[in-house]
Homo-oligomer: A and B are copies of this chain.
């Protein structure tokens, strides 16, 4: 690892075929932003797009915009665009609600389609909202459904004749470890279970091919690597073969076959349309669409290659510069098993991250001891990886984290 230098990293930036995309984002000059896995950066195109939407479409054309500007089509139109990023077909993805609410719809579908079984199998370190939504659904149903939680490497072995659905997040939010979607989906199917994937930490950063994997259901987040803005609407995928086998329970008017007939009884829309509930959040959807449109211009293979090179380079720089300073890599060393983030454990992770943030290196902390660094490949540079590693090493060497102000603070990131 020795012999690395900033010059090497600058040289990599000079040779990066995606380097030009950084100019498509507004990034503050004074920070190294390594938290795009929590909140993606602002695309350059978004402010003007939102201003036009607000002033011209809402302000001037008012209610007529539902037709004239295609607001009513937004859930499916953006869904079809996201489908191209995740190996889904047209009409298999729709944008709606939050990831949490979409999980509820699809878990309800999965349990209904596999009615004899009672177990929702997941990973103990899955993102909590996935587990909480499963718990909420099981409690509401009151029919003995339960959540079975195992370690990541025990998932395949835990599939059995009780498993109704395997619910996993493709890339773990803490460790950045990536599951083998194709193998686990196949294992789930062999065991007679359905497979529901949460793509929140995958879409826009790592290759996803739901079709090739034979996945049944998926959800994902709009505000991380899709750069859709804080709290952006989420999306959901239902394989075409399952779409009409079920009425999802959040049966709002815009999932009705004819919303503007205003019938008193619910008739589900054909296909993916029935997975919409209420009125689409137009402002938020327009921001999401701007982020998705930008990603659609990128070669996915180049994106993955840069993501892997960035995380590899960061690990190398940290291990070269911060030898013996108490850091332990928490992310798989094998690039093929890694998403687009790197996490290190450190006993003082919280104050260390505060010290980094004070120096303008923005990663985040995950309890109890994780320093988490996201490498959004569209706008992160190799020199950012170098500079962040250097700042981290310097803080640890000088114990610069050991100041009272770095031990305070709300842990909201």
Binding site for B on A (CB under 8 A): 26-28, 31, 33, 35, 38-39, 41-42, 46-47, 50-51, 54-55, 58-67, 71-72, 97-101, 104, 108, 124-129, 131-133, 135-137, 139-143, 149, 174, 223, 229-234, 247-256, 259-266, 277-285, 287, 357, 362, 364, 366-367, 410-413
Contact = CB atoms under 8 A, between A and B. Distances in A.
A381 to B, nearest CB: 16
Contact of A280 (B42, B46, B231, B261): B231
Contact of A250 (B72, B136, B362): B136
Contacts of A46: 54
A101 B41 contact: no
Contacts of A264: 124-126, 128, 131, 149
Given A33-B62, A229-B282, A231-B282, A250 B100 contact: yes
A266 B65 contact: no
B71 A55 contact: no
Contacts of A108: 140
B278 A98 contact: yes
Given A67-B410, A99-B278, A100-B278, A135 B54 contact: no
A62 B33 CA distance: 9
A253 B128 contact: yes
Contacts of A31: 62
A132 B258 CA distance: 12
Contacts of A135: 251, 265-266
A399 B108 CA distance: 52
A61 B362 CA distance: 10
B100 A101 contact: no
Given A63-B39, A131-B266, A278-B129, A229 B47 contact: no
Contacts of A285: 231
A167 B129 CA distance: 29
A59 B42 contact: yes
B54 A47 contact: yes
A404 to B, nearest CB: 18
A232 B277 contact: no
A-B pairs with the 3 shortest C-beta distances? Answer: A98-B278, A100-B252, A136-B251
Contact of A132 (B64, B65, B252, B366): B252
Interface centre among A31, A229, A234 (most CB of B within 10 A): A229
Contacts of A280: 231
A357 B62 CA distance: 12
A128 B248 contact: no
Nearest to A61: B28
Contacts of A142: 141, 143
A51 B62 contact: no
Given A62-B41, A223-B279, A256 B100 contact: no
B252 A367 contact: no
Contacts of A364: 63
Nearest to A99: B278
Interface centre among A98, A139, A142, A260 (most CB of B within 10 A): A98
Contacts of A256: 128, 132
Given A233-B281, A262-B366, A250 B50 contact: no
A63 B39 CA distance: 6
Nearest to A234: B278
